[in-house]
Structure 1
Amino acid sequence: MILPARASLETRIKAAGFLLREGWHWLTSLGLLVAGVVLLPFLPLGVGLYPVPRLLQTLNLLGARAQARAAAYTAAVVPFDPRRLDGQHTFGEVAALVSSPETKRDASWLLFHCAFALLAGCLAVGLPLAAVLYVFAAPWWPLFPPQAPLELAFPVTSWLAAAATVLLGVAYGVAGWMLLPWLARRLSSGTLAILSPRRYDELSRRIQDLSAARASALTAHAAELRRIERELHDGAQNRLVGVVMMLGLAQRAAETDPAAAMPFIGRAQDAATEALAGLREAVHDIYPPILDELGLGGAASALTSRSPIPCSLDVHGLLRAPAAVESAAYFVLAEALTNAAKHSDASRIGVVLRTESVPGEDVLVIRVNDDGRGGAAIPPRTASGTGAGTGVATGTGLAGIARRAAAFGGTLRVTSPSGGPTELRVDLPCDF
């Protein structure tokens, strides 16, 4: 009998602690709700382009923490994918963020939390405190002078009133004993029900993401095949045709004058050497052997050392990723450095490679920034779903990076105001 009673008491204490924490966080929820009510009416005027994404990110973070607290109380395992809303956004993107299903879930939880968390926290404190106070304080009413009697639920001036106060305290205790676990279960289950993605919505989102990633992968694969075919046709194939021609001329010359065949043989050897170099370059473009030898950090060091613009490299926190992801990151970095060298007029480039851990997966982050003239942007046809840049210029290099990132379910974001600086960020999920 002792063990069940102890377990029941621990259950009540745990429920009261959970309700107290939610009541404490009610202040933060209320402040965020007030900020949203004040700010959202100004969104059509363009005032909210900068603070609204931060507000939504804060709301998403609070929702993630509330879901973690509810999951810890109920011992549930629930997925939560926090959104990264940093950077600049256009009006259309902000409007899409405000109307997205994730924002609707977060806003619904905020209203739910503001409505019930404070009441639950007050009951978690008030019911046990009132029970203890009424039961133990009422018998001491004779110590109080008649002109200043003990005031609890009502003035206690007699033993009958003291007995009624004690009974009321017992009632408070019973109500707290029965009500607190129920309140904690309702509040935690409501939080999880609101914040946890609906299974249909989650499946729909996954299907859309997989469809988009498959289309991007096919597009990127087709582009790679065309590029390799073009390199082989314009490079190694032409040189091999030259080898065949030189050898044919050497054969004809050898029939009449063997000495005259030697220059043709030498030219054929030179063409064969160039063709071999072209083939090696094409193979290198398919999968750089340096990735196997030195990893992404070493390969990135080789790329930055060859950059015509002074380039710094930070690989602190970089972990090994699947070979396909590292290969994509290598080519993203190579294309970004090439774009900066061709178009930025920069005097310095900074490269950061690191692995960020988010719930459920690791993300390989590639950041390239320069102090050039800016004005870079993703072409409109590829900006959807991959982030959007600011500026006036567009280019096929950024479109290729966007396609390569989308093929792995990743994102590309470019911030490049006119006059600079420019920052490119690519996130590649390692568990694609």
Structure 2
Amino acid sequence: MRFPDRSALDARLQALAFLLREGRAWLASLGMMLAALVLLPFLPLGVGLYGVPRLLQVLNQLAARAQGRAAGFAGAVIPFDRRRLSGRHSFGELAALVSAAETRRDVSWLLFHCAFALVAGVLAVGLPAAALLNVAAAPFWMLFPADAPLDLAFPVTSWASAGMTVLLGLAYGVAAWLLLPWMARRLGDGTLAILSPRRYAELSRRISDLSAARASALTAHAAELRRIERELHDGAQNRLVGVVMMLGLAQRAAETDPAAAVPFMARAQDAATEALAGLREAVHDIYPPILDELGLDGAASALTSRSPVPAALDARGLRRAPAAVESAAYFVLAEALTNAAKHSGASQIEVLLHTDSTQREDVLVVQVKDDGRGGAAVPAGDGAVVPVRGARNGRGTGLDGIARRAAAFGGKLILASPEGGPTVVRVELPCAF
């Protein structure tokens, strides 16, 4: 693994800081190991199964943080998203979690970290401290009484022993200079190697994700076609039929009494105007022209200004995205505002639009927060939806449509809606789908 070019001193300081962080995190790893050992005898009795989900959640968080620290030190990019564990699980789901490949990697990392992180942390502190103490204290051996001499690696009672102590301190310093970066690299590389899935496993997961996204995209596309067909059939088509009928009646009336044809012509004109408005609305729902004219921030401002519930918009961190992604974000925001107005009973809505930039890709985030009654939930079956936090048997809110639209772009819906509110709908749309 290649590390970024840094000066020798800066590299050592970075390695020292990384080892100290890992040494401090060793306490959490040890606590996790002890908790697992305490829980293990109760698993055959069935009682211990109640503690397994929480234990796996904590282990997953510890491993994710360790992976982030190692990637930050190595300048590496983590090319995958870790799983999120929350909610309740059936016995079958629990068994699948325990036997999952990611759980096995997390447990392997825990054993590795418990074995080596403390040693690395102690050496990171001990070697520089020993070097500094021996070199700095040895020349002052004369200040100590003869019956209580300076005692470091050995008693210092003469300039010869003081010189030996200084040389030993320099040896400690050289060892720290050479050993600490090596230990940091080994610990960081080991963490990333253990917690990173094998190439074939990552490719398999990616294929599954792409298959799910493709299915969601096809479902969303079919739903859009059905909606457009209904709007054209029930709206513009019926009005155009009315135009033809009115023109036919006007033609017959004009043959006998031209003045009687005028009302029919007026009604035909009104029907044609309504049909044109319906066609414009259908075309607008395919791709809103306002996105081309004003961009997503301007289109979002227009949506929030028309919201029945007062809505505040913050789009300061927003950058341009591909047209398809901006269109999806526009409709997600429109649906979320409609849901909040219809179902939440809110008096205020906060809308946040911004772009999260990572080394992997840019992610367009649409977040809508209302101060309503809460309790919203997403119907089961949308694989891209993160389990709802704090929501009970929710009322129908149309959030499943938002989830499907996000999944079509490889994105996800994150919903937090405890009873009593507030409700936060957050949709993340990758810009490099």
**1:148-168 deviation per Cα after TM superposition (whole angstroms, max 9, x unaligned):** 456454557799989998997
1:428 to 2:432 alignment = no
User: What secondary structure, in the 3-state scheme, does the structure 1 residue paired with 2:420 have?
Assistant: coil
Aligned to 1:189: 189
User: 2:236–2:274: 8 Å Cα contact kept in structure 1?
Assistant: yes
User: 1:132-171 counterparts in 2 under 5 A?
Assistant: 147-148=147-148, 151-155=151-155
User: What secondary structure, in the 3-state scheme, does the structure 1 residue paired with 2:316 have?
Assistant: coil
Aligned to 1:321: 321
Residue 214 (structure 1) shift: 0.6
The one-letter code matched in structure 2 to 1:315 is A
In 2, the alpha carbon distance for the partners of 1:308 and 1:199 equals 50
Residue 273 (structure 1) shift: 0.6
**1:100-130 deviation per Cα after TM superposition (whole angstroms, max 9, x unaligned):** 6556545544543342233234445655776
Aligned to 2:406: 405
In 2, the alpha carbon distance for the partners of 1:282 and 1:26 equals 58
1:68 to 2:72 alignment = yes
User: 1:8-407 counterparts in 2 under 5 A?
Assistant: 17=13, 19-34=15-30, 36=32, 45=50, 56-57=60-61, 59-69=63-73, 71-72=74-75, 77-81=76-80, 89-92=86-89, 105=105, 108-123=108-123, 126=126, 147-148=147-148, 151-155=151-155, 182-382=182-382, 384-389=383-388, 390-395=391-396, 397-407=398-408
In 1, the alpha carbon distance for the partners of 2:66 and 2:48 equals 22
User: 1:131–1:173: 8 Å Cα contact kept in structure 2?
Assistant: yes
Name the stretch that deviates more: 327-336 or 276-285: 327-336
For structure 2, the 5+ residue unaligned runs are: 1-6, 40-46
Name the stretch that deviates more: 140-149 or 106-115: 140-149
The one-letter code matched in structure 2 to 1:285 is D
Name the stretch that deviates more: 225-234 or 116-125: 116-125
Gap change, CA 1:371 and 1:54, over 3 Å in 2: farther
In 1, the alpha carbon distance for the partners of 2:137 and 2:305 equals 79
In 1, the alpha carbon distance for the partners of 2:156 and 2:347 equals 83
User: What secondary structure, in the 3-state scheme, does the structure 2 residue paired with 1:261 have?
Assistant: helix
Gap change, CA 1:122 and 1:17, over 3 Å in 2: farther
The one-letter code matched in structure 2 to 1:239 is R
In 1, the alpha carbon distance for the partners of 2:102 and 2:318 equals 30
User: 1:22–1:117: 8 Å Cα contact kept in structure 2?
Assistant: no
In 2, the alpha carbon distance for the partners of 1:304 and 1:296 equals 12
Alpha-carbon RMSD across the aligned residues, in angstroms, is 3.8
The one-letter code matched in structure 2 to 1:332 is V
User: 1:213–1:407: 8 Å Cα contact kept in structure 2?
Assistant: yes
Aligned to 2:415: 414
- State the TM-score, normalized to the length of structure 2: 0.80
In 2, the alpha carbon distance for the partners of 1:144 and 1:417 equals 68
In 2, the alpha carbon distance for the partners of 1:297 and 1:54 equals 39
In 1, the alpha carbon distance for the partners of 2:136 and 2:334 equals 76
User: 1:80–1:196: 8 Å Cα contact kept in structure 2?
Assistant: no
The one-letter code matched in structure 2 to 1:324 is A
In 2, the alpha carbon distance for the partners of 1:351 and 1:424 equals 10
Gap change, CA 1:81 and 1:249, over 3 Å in 2: same
In 2, the alpha carbon distance for the partners of 1:416 and 1:161 equals 71
**1:265-300 deviation per Cα after TM superposition (whole angstroms, max 9, x unaligned):** 111111111100000000000000001111111111
Residue 356 (structure 1) shift: 1.8
In 2, the alpha carbon distance for the partners of 1:236 and 1:304 equals 28
- State the TM-score, normalized to the length of structure 1: 0.80
Residue 138 (structure 1) shift: 8.4
Residue 317 (structure 1) shift: 1.2
Gap change, CA 1:225 and 1:170, over 3 Å in 2: closer
The one-letter code matched in structure 2 to 1:63 is Q
User: 1:240–1:271: 8 Å Cα contact kept in structure 2?
Assistant: yes
The one-letter code matched in structure 2 to 1:397 is G
User: 1:19–1:117: 8 Å Cα contact kept in structure 2?
Assistant: no
Count of equivalent residues: 413
Name the stretch that deviates more: 35-44 or 201-210: 35-44
In 1, the alpha carbon distance for the partners of 2:136 and 2:352 equals 65
User: 1:21–1:121: 8 Å Cα contact kept in structure 2?
Assistant: no
In 2, the alpha carbon distance for the partners of 1:284 and 1:21 equals 55
User: 2:376–2:395: 8 Å Cα contact kept in structure 1?
Assistant: yes
The one-letter code matched in structure 2 to 1:26 is E
User: 2:384–2:411: 8 Å Cα contact kept in structure 1?
Assistant: no
In 1, the alpha carbon distance for the partners of 2:302 and 2:133 equals 74
Name the stretch that deviates more: 248-257 or 139-148: 139-148
In 2, the alpha carbon distance for the partners of 1:392 and 1:124 equals 52
For structure 1, the 5+ residue unaligned runs are: 1-9
Name the stretch that deviates more: 114-123 or 153-162: 153-162
Residue 133 (structure 1) shift: 7.4
User: 1:368–1:425: 8 Å Cα contact kept in structure 2?
Assistant: yes
Name the stretch that deviates more: 163-172 or 175-184: 163-172
In 2, the alpha carbon distance for the partners of 1:185 and 1:378 equals 44
Residue 201 (structure 1) shift: 2.4
